[in-house]
Amino acid sequence: MILRSVIRLLLCTAILPTAAQAGDFPQIAFIAMGYAELTRDALPPDGHQQRRMADQTGFLAITADLNGDGRDDEVRILANPDRGDAHVVAVIQSPDQIDTYVLSSLSFDDRGQIGIQLAPPAPSQGQSRPHIVLFRFDGAAECVTFQGEEFEQVPMPANWTLPN
């Protein structure tokens, strides 16, 4: 289920640089609340380490222009052991604000089972904006894309397969 609320932080241009470096994750409220980006090293032993080696980010991070404005946006899996949960969070950046979207929430104990990746291009399906696949290594998956003001679930691309 996609949380449809957005945490909107209005920033003056003196605080937010005009061009964010690709791959940098903004200091959003989740970070201030003690959440940290998941890394392969922070995953439990059953975190599918071998399968994660197939992706440069370990299926834990995405950098892409999600809203079509020519700027890189970020998607990460953030976890907080003290709160006992984790979230897949997308951050859409513009010159004067950062919009944060919670795409999925899960138990902290399940953090090693989830991954994210861009869906393979499917021009025959009219895919104009990047689609994000949120998957579990047990085979469950869903696909979402940014539709103007929010993320919406879309059909899984026929050419997507679970990482081996």
Give per-residue pLDDT as tens, 104-142: 999 999 999 999 999 987 665 555 789 999 999 999 999
Count of Cβ atoms closer than 10 Å to residue 51 Cβ: 15
Count of Cβ atoms closer than 10 Å to residue 28 Cβ: 19
Q: Which of 63, 133, 69, 114 is nearest to 91 (CA)?
A: 63
Global pTM? 0.82
pLDDT of residue 27: 79
Structural contact between residues 36 and 80, judged by C-beta atoms closer than 8 angstroms:
yes
